Amino acid sequence: MRKILLLVFIAIIGNVIAQDKKEEPTAPWTKGVVFGLNGSQSAFYNWAKGGENQVSLSGNIKAIAKYNKGKTSWDNLLLMDLGSSRQGKQDWRKGDDRFEFNTIYGHQATKSWYYSALFNFKTQFTKGYEFDDKGNSTYISNFMAPGYMKFGLGMDYKPNKSFSAFLSPATAKWTIVNDQALADAGKFGLDPAIMDTSGNIITPASKVRTEVGALVRLTYVKDVMKNVNFATILELYSNYLKNPQNIDVDWEFIFTFKINDVLNAQLKGHLIYDDDVMIDYDSNNDGVYDMKRPITQFNEALTIGIVYKL
């Protein structure tokens, strides 16, 4: 998988360099906000083939503010998503849940290179639960449990408006689990609490895990054809303090298909691999989780909804 990702982005880099050209000067600030509302519904009444009623709703906000004047570059991006769904007689269950803020400040060194500083913050809005086959739920996450922060210093390569490659040999990363029970259980890569043989906590776990490492962050946004936009972000992170050879991967992509001025369709995917995050795993496929291990995480969504731009 890592080799495939590398080849894909080498091809993208080659493409954007080949297409690099002088661009007309623009106003210093570029700003915009996009609101989206997506939903789906299905209902069955006396349906001989069977089926369960289903309703899903989700909303998202994307806000950008970019400044470019002289030798100064400052890119800001805010992403917020929240969704829920209900199937049959089940209670409403959380779907999309995201709050993320990114900012990169740069001072031009050469034509396409900038001395840069990056700050990134991620968390979620509401509680998260894991459900078994019988519908029983287990509490697994919440606002700031986890929360992630990164701060890095490095160079940002920006040959044009479509592509950016931020390279940092010095990036600090903090994982915050602001829920003592989850922290004590060692969730999201934290060291668990120290317990006695009876399971009583002797020393509670720290709620914060600190890493120092190297970060590569690639972004690409382009209209690949009429009414079709492709956007992707790939982050690769190596922790100098523990197993630096194990690269954390965080890759997102979005295809946006414009239907008209107020309707569009989106195909989204998000892949995560973090060898410090242990996930319940069924090693012998008997329906029972019998171990924990790092696993590649992936989610995908295809939506049609209403879009409003400011």
Residue 172 lies in a domain: yes
Closest CA to 219 of 231, 204, 207: 231
Q: pLDDT for 67-83, tens place per residue?
A: 999 999 999 999 999 99
Say how many C-beta atoms besides its own lie within 10 A of residue 1's C-beta.
10
Say how many C-beta atoms besides its own lie within 10 A of residue 157's C-beta.
18
Residue 272 lies in a domain: no
Residue 20 lies in a domain: no
Tokens coding 33: 């906000």
What's the confidence (pLDDT) of residue 279?
A: 80
CA dihedral for 272, 276, 282, 283, sign (positive or negative): positive
Residue 35 lies in a domain: yes
Residue 305 lies in a domain: no
The C-alpha atoms of residue 100 and residue 253 are separated, in whole angstroms, by: 15
Helix (H) or strand (E) run with residue 111 in it: none
Residue 171 lies in a domain: yes
Q: pLDDT for 236-257, tens place per residue?
A: 999 999 999 999 999 999 999 9
Domain encompassing residue 80: 30-224+232-256+278-295
In this prediction the pTM is 0.84
Residue 8 lies in a domain: no
What's the confidence (pLDDT) of residue 40?
A: 80
The C-alpha atoms of residue 298 and residue 74 are separated, in whole angstroms, by: 31
| Number of domains within the chain | 1
Residue 267 lies in a domain: no
User: Average pLDDT, stretch 206-226?
Assistant: 96
Q: How confident is the model at residue 287 (pLDDT cuts 50, 70, 90)?
A: low
